[in-house]
Structure 1
Amino acid sequence: MRSAGAVVVLLGVLAAAVWSVIDLRINLATMVDSVDNATAFLARVVPLDFPPLGELVAMTAQTLAIVVVATALAVVLSTPAAIFAAANTTTGPLARGAARSLIVLSRAIPDVIFAIVLFRFLGLGALPGILALAFHSVGMIGKLYADAIEQVDAGPPEAITAAGGRRWQWITGAVLPQVMPQVVATALHRFDINLRTAVLLGYVGVGGIGMEIANALRTMNYQRGMALALVVLVVCVLLELLSGAIRARLAPGAGDRGGWLGRLTDAWVHAPRETHRPQRRRDGRVRVTPPWDAERIRRLAGVLVTVAVLAAATVGSGIDVAALGENLAGLPAAVGLFWPPETGGILPTLLEALLITVQIGLAATLLGMVLALPIGVLAARNVAPHPRVATALRTVIVTVRAFPELIIAIVLIVITGLGPVPGALALGIGSVGLLGKLVADSVEETDVRVQDALRAAGATRSQVFFGATLRQALPAFVAHVLYQLDVNIRSATLLGIVGAGGIGFYLLNAARVQEFGVVTTIVLLVLAVVLSVEAIAVWARRVVR
């Protein structure tokens, strides 16, 4: 009965997505009509106008510094939240429920909403952007950390408890060391996401290269704006490749971690090697601390480098500590500006814009699914007709993931004009990167023994795929598409700020004219939609699993 209900819900979501594509008039004719605009846009972009090298390095470094500090802060905040949210480390049902609610709420509120509210509390500068990125990141990082903690080996914590160890001792001594590879890998993945978001937050006042792109495009200086966008793309690609390589080294079964990259990851995540015989000092006493061998020196060097990077990023981000104290003093009065919620006499308009935001998310998910499913399936090494095909499509997926949706949306807005169409197309293209990767990974994780059995019985390649591979991976496909829908609806709010339609446009306008009661109303509307979509997605994933 529940399975039938899930099928009905999923068909309803599919029908809504098809209706959204039709209602938003996303079709081939629209694309053809925009060819002349695309040609004119290219003429206005070339030649690219890069700023002086010193300025370019400074603005890029500031953005990277903001993202480093924000991601590090998110890890610090997410770790205790995950400990209380995990069933095996929480202090009780009440603490676990509160931690899980905090994580869900952080994930449901888009970064830009955090930023707009914090700018009113703390003033302009890097700090509101850092806090916005960090608070929203807790939603993803905290959930993944909690899931990792719940899967640790229970033996070491029980041994420490049996020896008289306290709760904090077995958590720090047995639980956290086991999840350290996941901690680092998740932080690196979130760093990639935060870098793309930091560029978008330049439109609401966060410094760095994002603000320079916003200023250039507002003044229709497309040569400068696209030049800076190209720099962002190159930085995203390089960091995606680096973080992807590090995450691969941290994955279970990665093998020998030789080379500089292996030594670096060892310094981050590896505990000291165990010794089977006690080591003694020259005076005959047993050594209770590890010796200063090459391994310990390498770990210390890794910690010192990490601390130095965080310190340099904190300085380079441009946080104004002096202004922070003054702004915090006026915090109670600033909070009062956002309550009670107000409609500003435009509630019907806000509801219509909210519907358009949902339509953008639905249409983008459908377009992304149509593109990502075949690409992801053929990118799986156990399905691709040739290893080169899998490698080529994996490269396509990585390349698409490196393009921030903001850059794609800006280009499409200039070509097709303001409105929801460029937003839906930008998110649809962006969905290929994430959804394609998830689909490829799911296909590769299927049980090959079932596929081998069908091949041994004389089944063709297509029969093996539809009879074994697809049947195993289908629940994962459904889960990934629903997750992408959740992501796209939140992202649609963000892209509305740059003119891609939806309620984000009214959110930014309300903040600019200081109609903070209207800001609160919009935040509550977005939050209600996001939580509703997430609830439906969680229920459907649980049923089809």
Structure 2
Amino acid sequence: MATLRPEAAEAPRSTSGRRPVPKRPTPSIHVIAVWGIFLTLIAGGVWSMFDLGINLFDVLVNIISGWDWITENLFPPQFPEAARLVELILTTLGIVFLATLFSVITSVPIAIFAAVNTTTGAISRQTARIIIIFCRAAPDLVFAIILIRVFGPANGALIGIVAMGLSSIGMVGKLLADNIEDVDRGPSEAIRAAGGARWQWIQSTVILQIMPQIVAHGLHRMDINLRNSVLLGFVGVPGLGQALSNAMNTRQWDLVMGYTIVITVLCILMELLSGAIRTQMMGRDSGGRRRGVLGLLERIAQNSWVHAPTDPHTAQRTPKGRVRVAPQWDAGRIQRFFGWAALITLAFLAIYDVELNWEVLMNTLGNFPDVVSRFFPPDDHGHYASRYFPALVETLQIAMASLLLGLFVALPIGAFAARNAAPTKNIATFFRCLIVACRAFPELVLAIVLVVILGFDATAGVIALAFGSIGLLAKLVADSLEESDTRVQDAVRAGGADRVQTFFSATVRQTAPATVAHILYQLDVNFRAATLLGVLGLGIGFDLLQASARSRYEILSLLIINILVVVIILELISMYVRKVVR
């Protein structure tokens, strides 16, 4: 009699003799809810496209028909005098640098209070979290409008620094709080066991561990602030944004194009510089050695020596056997020395260049409570249902429609930009460069050009924000694909799957949860950006500017509260989805 294999003997059979097919696990209610949110988002984008009357074919026809106007009015571009251009660039960079520095310095203590492992209690932690949420919810334009009422329109540089700084605290503080909660707690526990105070182990272990993240988040935020400074120029912040606004108001379109080129080049250079600095600080090769200039200096320092008497207890011998008693000038020490020196120097130069009026600052701070009291109670004067609520809905529609358009373009670009998914390395490099170009071009500048061609309607805003969505979303998708587990892909490939089958069955399935989270994050970004299109007469941002110009504080507070409510709702949905898909 034939002997049954153990697995065959153990497998249950049905009455028909066939082995039953194993049932798939039933998805949880939370997974179903996430799919419902995602499908609702797609449906909302389609509805927004139809309700706003966006026809891509008509857009293409209008752009082609308006090409003559573009070539006649925008080209050749006109640039201001070299001295004037340098002055505008330095002013813009100075304001952006000081705003970023202010946000990072302020975010570190806020993040310490917001993190579970470094806070002193529930009250301090929740207070810090509320500050972070409020700063994340309010766009730069909202802070700028409030600060104009506090400091006056003549203090544009100060308004730009504080507005972008407060808005940046939301993102930088949240990221640093997450980094603090992920640090190794062993060194901190050792110092506490030795009797160290709280501030001692936080300073000596926590801050030192997250220092690379502090620099990386600061560089990333500085890149974002450079783009946002263009918008704040329309409300009086000096620099390239204000010059661009003046050129638009006087209809000097060739000069508008010149400033557009300068701003785009600056954004590209900032993106490249940020990446290079992050690589110099944290990049290492497969052997653990630092790359770039710091790696070269570290290797040179390892061969250096100092003449000094030999002390077997304190002296350190170099690789050549010579004695060194001073601390090693390794890459870490070189990095800290030159980093702090450069930071302090740039801060003084920026303060000198933007010409901050500290006397005005101190005098106006005393009027802050009186100005804030004017914002309450909020009042719509009976126009909420007929004017302000439809403007809020239009802003949300612009965000959803632009996300839908950007999504269908960003997904394939992100896939081809990932080195482990692209057919060749050259293709991945090409699409990475395309992403950099998309991210470098400010959405507001593109919206300005499109408004001239397409008119003052929502189509220009949707196309501009969709273009920006392509750059950010494609980058996030590409990074997620590259961070996927290659062992799963190798296993599928070893089973005979080709490149396409491996991509969809292994790579895409791993990164699908992260992609859903990225899409919701992009919706949040698009809504904030849509509120900034008020300078072009679109959405609730236009009502914000109108109420600010007429000093209607009660209307301003009502609109700000509406924006905060929508942003907080989007943030809560995004947090829920990220928690489920992890």
Give 1:26's aligned residue.
54
Q: Which residue identity lines up with residue 221 of structure 2 in the other structure?
A: R
Out of 400, 415, 430, the position equivalent to 1:377 is: 415
Helix, strand or coil: the match of 1:91? coil
Give 2:82's aligned residue.
53
- Preserved CA contact (<8 Å) 1:145 1:182: yes
Give 1:104's aligned residue.
133
Change (3 A) 1:97 1:440: same
Using structure 1 for the length normalisation, give the TM-score: 0.93
Deviates more, 1:239-248 or 1:368-377: 239-248
- Does residue 1:190 correspond to 2:221, yes or no? yes
Q: Which residue identity lines up with residue 502 of structure 1 in the other structure?
A: G
- Once the two structures are TM-superposed, the CA of residue 495 in structure 1 deviates from its matched residue by 1.6
Q: Which residue identity lines up with residue 40 of structure 2 in the other structure?
A: G
Give 1:155's aligned residue.
186
- Once the two structures are TM-superposed, the CA of residue 144 in structure 1 deviates from its matched residue by 0.7
- Does residue 1:15 correspond to 2:43, yes or no? yes
- Quote the Cα distance in structure 2 between the aligned partners of 1:164 and 1:221: 68
Tell me the alpha carbon deviations over residues 469-509 of structure 1, each in whole angstroms, 9 at most, x when there is no partner.
1111100110000000011011100122233x211011001
Change (3 A) 1:293 1:380: closer
- Quote the Cα distance in structure 2 between the aligned partners of 1:277 and 1:525: 69
Change (3 A) 1:98 1:264: farther
- Once the two structures are TM-superposed, the CA of residue 297 in structure 1 deviates from its matched residue by 6.7
Change (3 A) 1:249 1:293: closer
Which aligned pairs between 1:140-539 and structure 2 lie closer than 5 A?
140-251=171-282, 253=284, 255-260=288-293, 278-279=313-314, 291=326, 294-295=329-330, 299-347=336-384, 348-499=386-537, 501-539=538-576
- Once the two structures are TM-superposed, the CA of residue 5 in structure 1 deviates from its matched residue by 2.0
Q: Which residue identity lines up with residue 233 of structure 2 in the other structure?
A: G
- Preserved CA contact (<8 Å) 1:264 1:302: no
- Preserved CA contact (<8 Å) 1:41 1:414: no
**Alignment length, in residue pairs?**
528
- Preserved CA contact (<8 Å) 2:100 2:165: yes
- Quote the Cα distance in structure 1 between the aligned partners of 2:67 and 2:532: 24
Give 1:69's aligned residue.
98
- Once the two structures are TM-superposed, the CA of residue 318 in structure 1 deviates from its matched residue by 2.5
Give 2:159's aligned residue.
128
| Identical-residue share of aligned pairs (%) | 47
- Quote the Cα distance in structure 1 between the aligned partners of 2:282 and 2:86: 33
Change (3 A) 1:297 1:529: closer
Helix, strand or coil: the match of 1:341? coil
Q: Which residue identity lines up with residue 453 of structure 1 in the other structure?
A: A
Give 1:272's aligned residue.
none
Give 1:544's aligned residue.
581
**Root mean square deviation, CA, Å:** 2.1
- Quote the Cα distance in structure 1 between the aligned partners of 2:360 and 2:123: 37
Helix, strand or coil: the match of 1:503? helix
Q: Which residue identity lines up with residue 119 of structure 1 in the other structure?
A: I
Q: Which residue identity lines up with residue 91 of structure 2 in the other structure?
A: Q
Give 2:3's aligned residue.
none
Tell me the alpha carbon deviations over residues 73-105 of structure 1, each in whole angstroms, 9 at most, x when there is no partner.
000110011101111111122211111121111
- Quote the Cα distance in structure 2 between the aligned partners of 1:7 and 1:385: 31
- Preserved CA contact (<8 Å) 1:364 1:428: yes
Change (3 A) 1:523 1:277: farther
Q: Which has the higher contact order (CA 8 A, sep 6+)?
A: 1
- Quote the Cα distance in structure 1 between the aligned partners of 2:228 and 2:62: 31
Tell me the alpha carbon deviations over residues 249-278 of structure 1, each in whole angstroms, 9 at most, x when there is no partner.
334645533543657999xxxxxxxxx975
- Preserved CA contact (<8 Å) 2:280 2:292: no
- Once the two structures are TM-superposed, the CA of residue 301 in structure 1 deviates from its matched residue by 3.8
Deviates more, 1:530-539 or 1:131-140: 530-539
- Preserved CA contact (<8 Å) 1:246 1:265: no
- Quote the Cα distance in structure 2 between the aligned partners of 1:331 and 1:144: 30
Change (3 A) 1:109 1:185: same
Tell me the alpha carbon deviations over residues 283-317 of structure 1, each in whole angstroms, 9 at most, x when there is no partner.
xxxxxxx8366455774343222101111111212
Give 1:3's aligned residue.
31
- Quote the Cα distance in structure 1 between the aligned partners of 2:263 and 2:297: 26
Q: Which residue identity lines up with residue 402 of structure 1 in the other structure?
A: A
Give 1:90's aligned residue.
119
- Quote the Cα distance in structure 2 between the aligned partners of 1:406 and 1:339: 31
- Quote the Cα distance in structure 2 between the aligned partners of 1:454 and 1:462: 11
- Once the two structures are TM-superposed, the CA of residue 246 in structure 1 deviates from its matched residue by 1.5
Helix, strand or coil: the match of 1:533? helix
Helix, strand or coil: the match of 2:380? coil
Decide which structure has the larger Cα Rg and report it.
Answer: 2
Q: Which residue identity lines up with residue 390 of structure 1 in the other structure?
A: A
Give 1:269's aligned residue.
none
Tell me the alpha carbon deviations over residues 206-233 of structure 1, each in whole angstroms, 9 at most, x when there is no partner.
1111100001111111111110111111
Out of 101, 121, 142, the position equivalent to 1:113 is: 142
In structure 1, stretches of 5+ residues that fail to align are: 267-275, 282-289
Q: Which residue identity lines up with residue 85 of structure 2 in the other structure?
A: L
Q: Which residue identity lines up with residue 372 of structure 1 in the other structure?
A: A
Q: Which residue identity lines up with residue 129 of structure 1 in the other structure?
A: G
- Quote the Cα distance in structure 1 between the aligned partners of 2:55 and 2:271: 32
- Once the two structures are TM-superposed, the CA of residue 7 in structure 1 deviates from its matched residue by 1.5
Using structure 2 for the length normalisation, give the TM-score: 0.87
- Once the two structures are TM-superposed, the CA of residue 319 in structure 1 deviates from its matched residue by 1.4
- Quote the Cα distance in structure 2 between the aligned partners of 1:442 and 1:277: 51
Give 2:7's aligned residue.
none
Deviates more, 1:203-212 or 1:323-332: 323-332
- Quote the Cα distance in structure 2 between the aligned partners of 1:262 and 1:113: 44
- Quote the Cα distance in structure 2 between the aligned partners of 1:27 and 1:526: 28
Tell me the alpha carbon deviations over residues 416-471 of structure 1, each in whole angstroms, 9 at most, x when there is no partner.
11121111111110011111111001111111111111111111212111111111
- Once the two structures are TM-superposed, the CA of residue 528 in structure 1 deviates from its matched residue by 0.8
Deviates more, 1:301-310 or 1:431-440: 301-310
- Quote the Cα distance in structure 1 between the aligned partners of 2:296 and 2:387: 57
- Quote the Cα distance in structure 2 between the aligned partners of 1:67 and 1:78: 16
